[in-house]
Amino acid sequence: MDRKVCDVVTGVTAPPSGGAVTPGTAVIALDVGGTAIKGAVEAANGLIDTRLQVPTPVADGVEAVVAAIVATIEALRAAASPQLTVVGVGIIFPGVVDREAGVARYSANIGWRDLPIRSLVSDLVGLPVAIDHDVRAAGLAEARLGAARGVDEALFVSMGTGVAAAVVTGGAVVSGAGGMAGEFGHLPVMPDGDRCGCGLRGCVEAYASAASLARRYMAAAGAGLLRAEDVITLAGSGDVVARKVFDDAVVALARALVSYVFIMDPSLIVIGGGMAAAGPVLTEPVAIEMKASMLWRDAPPLVTSALDGDAGRRGAALVAWSALDKQA
């Protein structure tokens, strides 16, 4: 499953310089999701040396997921180019992440609760390990290497199975008092709207996530299993039900973005995650909806991720390098 590559993502530079970033060194970066573990060996110069993706064995329990993470790290280390020395590991995942304590407080998609994942993995692989939230790490990558590079005030919104955000202010990604900053998907924007998985009604995620687009269309049209991209295609081809579902998603997302803009005044908004593949089909109507709600000021530019589906994994590498620099 692993394959050797030697590529540089457009616009990406090497990690920030520091005591741990020396020629010939590399880190292993893992983006752990409920479906797959995406990993790579990234050298100090920013080159991606080796990639590997394996299924996340969520159904087999917590121990099986930890074992899969360890096995992926070992496989990547074994496959890395001989001239590289792996010096650390960065692991990112969804949920409530206490990066300072190294603990996964709550990750519903993976089944973790108060799991000391940093020390568990570090002890098993014999390498320093750093952890962080997947969307915050992706936002860090966009801020350092991607669409928001050089932008001090930005918002990165990841739209996939769920919806979450990374708040970039002063050029840094904000964690918040309890590590829960960026729960953008649970802003209630549709009064008395659909019930969200969090228990509230009318949340952004209940309308604008990929899962919600598919769910709402299938419920309204009585259709079989569809993907979000199918719903968007149907909306563009004139399907009335799909058009309503998509328009609701646009309104929900725009309302949440307008609220954020009025509070934080970002100079750029970046849309990432699987939904970003829709490109202008998504961003243009959202921008129009935002403009209609911001009569006395301009809305910031709305763009899609420059790192595509690799933003999280690139962010995991940055998390690893940052932790190593602090130890140096």
pLDDT value of position 22: 81
The CATH architecture one would assign to domain 3-138+309-327 is 2-Layer Sandwich (3.30)
Taking residues 159-177, report their average pLDDT: 93
Residue spans of alpha helices (H) in the chain: 62-79, 117-125, 134-145, 205-208, 210-221, 228-236, 240-264, 280-292, 311-327
C-beta atoms surrounding 4 within 10 Å: 12
Dist CA 311 CA 139 (whole Å): 8
Taking residues 85-107, report their average pLDDT: 94
Q: Kindly report the average pLDDT of the chain as a whole number.
A: 91
Asked whether the predicted pLDDT for residue 323 surpasses 90, the reply is yes
What are the two backbone dihedrals, phi and then psi, of residue 163, each rounded to the nearest 5 degrees? -135, 125
Amino acid at 36: A
pLDDT value of position 1: 37
Tokens at 285, concatenated: 């109507």
Asked whether the predicted pLDDT for residue 100 surpasses 50, the reply is yes
Taking residues 196-206, report their average pLDDT: 93
Which pTM value belongs to this model? 0.89
Same CATH topology for 3-138+309-327 and 150-305: the answer is: yes
Confidence of residue 15 (pLDDT cuts 50, 70, 90): low
Among 136, 245, 249, 244, residue whose Cα is nearest residue 189: 249
Dist CA 65 CA 83 (whole Å): 30
pLDDT value of position 180: 85
161 versus 241: which is more confidently predicted?
Answer: 241
Confidence of residue 18 (pLDDT cuts 50, 70, 90): low
Confidence of residue 13 (pLDDT cuts 50, 70, 90): very low
pLDDT value of position 283: 97
* Percent of residues, the chain, with pLDDT higher than 90: 83
How is the chain split into domains, by residue range? 3-138+309-327, 150-305
pLDDT value of position 108: 82
Under 8 Å between Cβ of 95 and 105: yes
pLDDT value of position 5: 33
pLDDT value of position 8: 31
Tokens at 160, concatenated: 């996939």
Confidence of residue 68 (pLDDT cuts 50, 70, 90): very high
Cβ neighbours for 90, distance < 8 A, ≥ 6 positions apart:
27, 28, 29, 30, 129, 130, 131, 132, 137, 315, 316, 317, 318, 319, 320, 321, 323
C-beta atoms surrounding 153 within 10 Å: 16
Q: State the chain's maximal CA–CA distance in angstroms.
A: 59
Taking residues 94-100, report their average pLDDT: 91
Please list, residue by residue across 67-98, b when 16 or more beta carbons sit within 10 angstroms of its beta carbon and e when fewer do.
Answer: ebbeebbebbbeebeeebebbbbbbbbbbbbb
Asked whether the predicted pLDDT for residue 54 surpasses 60, the reply is yes
Characterize the bridge pairing of strands 48-55 and 3-7: antiparallel
pLDDT value of position 225: 86
The string of pLDDT tens digits covering residues 306-317 is 998 899 999 999
Domain 150-305 in CATH 3.40.50.300? The answer is: no
